[in-house]
Amino acid sequence: MVFSSMTFLLLFLPVTILLYALRRNIKWKNGVLLIASLFFYAWGEPVYILLMLISTGINYLCALGIDRSGSAKNARKLWLFIGVTASMVFLIWFKYAAFMVNSFAGVFSLPYHMAEKKLPIGISFYTFQVLTYTVDVYRKKAAVQKNPARLLLYVSCFPQLIAGPIVQYADVAGMLDDRPFNSRRFSEGARRFAVGLSKKVILANLCGSAISHIDPADASTVVSFAGAWYVALMYTFQIYFDFSAYSDMAIGLGRLFGFDYKENFNYPYVSGSITEFWRRWHISLGSFFRDYVYIPLGGSRCSVRRTIFNMMVVWSLTGFWHGASWNFILWGMYYGLLLITERFVIGRERLNKLPYLLRAPAIFVLAVIGWVLFYHTDLSLAARQLCAMIGIGNHLQLVDPLTAAVVRKYSVLPLMALIAAMPVLPAVRKLADDNRVTRALSYVAATVLMLLSLVFLVGQSYNPFIYFRF
């Protein structure tokens, strides 16, 4: 079940909200939300829900063990090791085992091939979430949760279960015990959800539909210079609107049920540096790797050589987190190298002295190039598209007839996407909330967007969520 499905919008969500609002008791609300969340996950993964339950149960017991160990350092470390290892074993087995075994067999020419496992939906997200709980208890950043149902609600809460944002336990621990539910928060959450749904259904899906006509992943497709850039640009917008839309909907749904989730995207395509880009893109993932990998490795509090090593480890893992494929690892290393170059070769102060109107377009182009690596699991196809983008290739055309036809069909789409990717909405929202009249108009506009999204959904056959495969 996905947020942009009729089943979710017209059946699951209304019923859940109705049951949730029946009583003020927090136990009732938590119970309704927990049952709804487990049903939501089981709708698409009836078997793999056991993995989430087992992973949560193990970390629940390990956190209790950490808490009861008091100041016994070795015992605390042992419980932490068991919890982290148990969760990572599930993630590695389903997501990475086949890739690692087959890569090893390929390097040493061994006659063995391991079939890829079906990837449980959302396993990367809920694994990281349950790990933040155990680690936060170990660090004494959060109190141990003695109620297993509340811990399971934190891990499985359906607004952010499938594709984030990654919610650290310490940020929502208090909300599991008490949180508001009122008309103002409900209306704000509904408005945010409507905006996210329209970004997904209208913008992301249209960008994806445009790409499907000139698919550079099809080796038989003639990729011209214009076609290569057009597909790269449309994918750059598609992945942003797809994932940021899911985050908008998750934050909006969280607000409906009383949770305040942190922002996950902050208009990354206006960034004036790669560092700024990653402070604005998938913020929760960046925070996770910073707090639980980069800083424990030593962060920047060490020699330049060690700092560079730490950065490459983090960015290689960031790429690998997205998928068991060499293109994701290269994508992560690409950003690691860009960040190292920006910090230690160019220098941030020198970079910031350059005019913003020069920096921002350059950073955007670098992001577009990065998404080509991200898009193609077949590196030969990625190389083919990148070569076409710089004008290299046998019998390369400037513009092919297919690209020209698609550009004419979706003529307004690139401009719409570019405007929507700029920080226009926050300014409009701030203006709308200045008084009752403009605030009421903003809710009318959100209602229109919601209805328009439903109309689009009825007529669309293309409606995937890109980040579901991660």
Q: Which two tokens stand for residue 109?
A: 């020419």
Q: Which of 113, 213, 282, 322 is catalytic?
A: 322
376 is catalytic: no
User: Which of 208, 190, 246, 203 is closest to 422 using CA atoms?
Assistant: 203
d(CA 280, CA 266): 5
> Catalytic amino acids?
322
